[in-house]
């Protein structure tokens, strides 16, 4: 444990660094629960984005066109929903965590941790804007087109789907890079 100014630092299980005059060093359960929920959701978001962008996407072309249509119609919606829910929960628990941290330490935003977290939050909000306005809608349209093509007895993906796939790929790559930057800023906040 080390002290810096009025902040108290304990390494594990949470960075317990916000002043709580009456806590006497007891683990802050609310803080621990919020960090746990926030980081778990963030793992889901980043995990979903990594898997979709780097593992599944580039390997789809190994499937036959019919199998690729089936995948896009029947599996892709669950992957997109999972990542979407994880992203929403990351933001929700992140805001709850921010509110709690601020309620414990109203000077948070003028601390190094608060400044790092602020950079992370701006990056996270830009990431969410890209994900919810470009990437997720493109993936959803791809799934709908694939389902329609299967219903219509088509074997090959329609031309429109190729253009959407390009948009979705670009969007998910941008979101992934922004997510890494967000993670770096959040971890910097956690360790400062
Ligand atoms: C609007 C969205 C978000 C808000 C409001 C938010 C807020 C916060 C806050 C206040 C902290 C505590 C920082 C500290 O210890 O001083 C934190 C920690 C953390 N955040 Fe976020 N966050 C958001 C998005 C994200 C995203 C997108 C990721 C992942 C890519 C992420 C990953 C983390 C991690 C891993 C920690 C723990 C850092 C550590 O203790 O080492 N957050 N977040």
Mean pLDDT (whole number) for 63-81: 94
- The confidence score (pLDDT) of residue 144 equals 95
Ligand 1 pocket member 111 (CB < 6 A): no
Whether residue 9 lies inside any domain: the answer is: no
Whether residue 183 lies inside any domain: the answer is: yes
- The confidence score (pLDDT) of residue 10 equals 44
Ligand 1 pocket member 129 (CB < 6 A): no
Whether residue 78 lies inside any domain: the answer is: yes
Q: What is the mean pLDDT of the chain?
A: 88
Whether residue 19 lies inside any domain: the answer is: no
Mean pLDDT (whole number) for 107-115: 94
Whether residue 67 lies inside any domain: the answer is: yes
Parent domain of 166: 24-191
Whether residue 79 lies inside any domain: the answer is: yes
Task: Give how many domains the chain has, as a whole number.
Answer: 1
Strands (E), the chain: 2-4, 7-9
Ligand 1 pocket member 171 (CB < 6 A): no
- The confidence score (pLDDT) of residue 156 equals 77
Q: How far apart are CA 50 and CA 44, in angstroms?
A: 10
Dihedral sign of CA atoms 78, 58, 145, 172 in order: positive
Whether residue 36 lies inside any domain: the answer is: yes
């Amino acid at each position: 444990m080390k002290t810096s100014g009025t902040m108290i630092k304990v390494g594990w299980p949470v960075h317990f660094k916000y002043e709580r005059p009456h806590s006497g060093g007891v683990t802050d359960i609310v803080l621990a629960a919020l960090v746990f929920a926030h980081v778990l959701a963030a793992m889901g978001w980043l995990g979903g984005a990594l898997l979709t962008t780097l593992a599944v996407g580039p390997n789809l072309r190994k499937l036959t066109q019919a199998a690729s249509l089936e995948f896009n119609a029947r599996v892709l919606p669950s992957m997109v929903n999972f990542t979407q829910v994880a992203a929403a929960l990351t933001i929700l628990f992140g805001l709850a965590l921010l509110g709690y941290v601020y309620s414990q330490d109203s000077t948070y935003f003028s601390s190094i941790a608060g400044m790092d977290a602020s950079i992370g939050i701006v990056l996270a909000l830009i990431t969410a804007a890209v994900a919810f306005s470009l990437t997720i809608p493109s993936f959803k349209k791809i799934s709908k087109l694939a389902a329609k093509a299967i219903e219509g007895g088509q074997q090959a993906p329609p031309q429109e789907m190729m253009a959407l796939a390009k948009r979705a790929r670009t969007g998910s790559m941008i979101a992934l890079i922004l997510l890494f930057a967000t993670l770096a800023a959040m971890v910097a906040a956690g360790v400062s």
